[in-house]
Amino acid sequence: EAAVTQSPRNKVAVTGGKVTLSCNQTNNHNNMYWYRQDTGHGLRLIHYSYGAGSTEKGDIPDGYKASRPSQENFSLILELATPSQTSVYFCASGTGGVYEQYFGPGTRLTVL
Amino acid sequence: QQQVRQSSQSLTVWEGETAILNCSYENSAFDYFPWYQQFPGEGPALLIAIRSVSDKKEDGRFTIFFNKREKNLSLHIKDSQPGDSATYFCAANYNQGKLIFGQGTKLSIKP
């Protein structure tokens, strides 16, 4: 029973198209995060949220929007996808208080 | 000031040896340092973590040694097993649960 799930697991998009990546958590954590992982860069924080209705910019937010409609769900939106956004995207949830984060399995996005 | 650096992109040790993965940081305000383990095709999984008030944290075969004055830490994996072959990320908390990650060290254990 995976506590953080992501969909889709793989996605191919066209340049200029809109892409929505979804994340669901059953940990009942207040905080949720979106990262991208690229070789040589580790994981970099795109957007995060402290609870339903809130979104905050992370370290590399340009070209991305986020939406947190409920405690369980957190989406990452690429309004106009570009090839530079080809990457693996990870969602995570955390309590905030003890700083632990628990990651989903990732979404591999290819923008052609 | 927000950097976390891992000294090796890759490391190979023999089965049964102790693997040592090194990490350094610049911002003295960082107060929590988790290590994550990632297998190919999976998300990172929290392995072990230490707070800056401690200098050592042990969990089974995994131990973190932390040097606040030198701003570095290391992950020791005793009695390395082939199943420990993975990429390991050092990270640091810099603001209310936000983590900054190192670039990762790919560990290979030779049987």
Yes or no, beta carbons of A100 and B46 under 8 Å apart: yes
Residue B97 — very low, low, confident or very high, per pLDDT cuts 50/70/90? confident
Question: Does residue B1 have a pLDDT over 60?
Answer: no
Residue A112 domain-assigned?
A: no
Identify which of A9, A12, A96, A95 has the alpha carbon closest to the alpha carbon of residue B43.
A9
A33 in any annotated domain: yes
d(CA A51, CA A26): 14
Chain B residues close to A106, C-beta within 8 Å: 41-43
Domain range holding B73? Answer: 4-110
Task: Write down the pLDDT at residue B51.
Answer: 94
Interface of B with A in 11-70 (CB under 8 A): 32, 34, 36, 41-46, 49
Question: What's the mean pLDDT when you consider all of chain B?
Answer: 94
Count of domains for chain A: 1
DSSP-assigned beta bridge partners for residue B101: B91
Range of the domain at A30: 4-105
Which amino acid is it at B27?
N
User: Which residue in B has a C-alpha nearest to residue A39's C-alpha?
Assistant: B103
Q: Residue B32 belongs to what H/E stretch?
A: strand B32-38
Above 60 in pLDDT, residue B105?
A: yes
pLDDT at A39: 84
User: Among all chains, which residue has been given the structure tokens 């929290």?
Assistant: B46
The CATH number for A71's domain is 2.60.40.10
Q: What angle do CA B38, B44, B50 make, to 5 degrees?
A: 100
Residues of A with Cβ-Cβ distance to B4 under 8 angstroms: 42
List chain B residues with CB under 8 Å of A40: 9, 103
**Residue B63 DSSP SS3:** strand
In 10 A of CB A20, how many CB atoms?
A: 14
pLDDT at position B96 is 74
Q: In this prediction, what percent of chain B has a pLDDT beyond 70? A: 98
Asked whether residue B9 carries a pLDDT value surpassing 90, the answer given is yes
CB A32 within 8 A of CB A92: yes
**Low-confidence stretches of chain A (pLDDT beneath 50):** none
Residue A90 domain-assigned (yes or no): yes
Taking only the tens place, the pLDDT of each residue in B23-71 is: 999 999 899 999 999 999 999 999 999 999 999 999 999 999 999 999 9
Lookup: tokens for A94: 């955390």
For residue B77, the domain's CATH number is 2.60.40.10
A22 within a domain of the structure (yes/no): yes
- Per the structure, the count of domains in chain B is 1
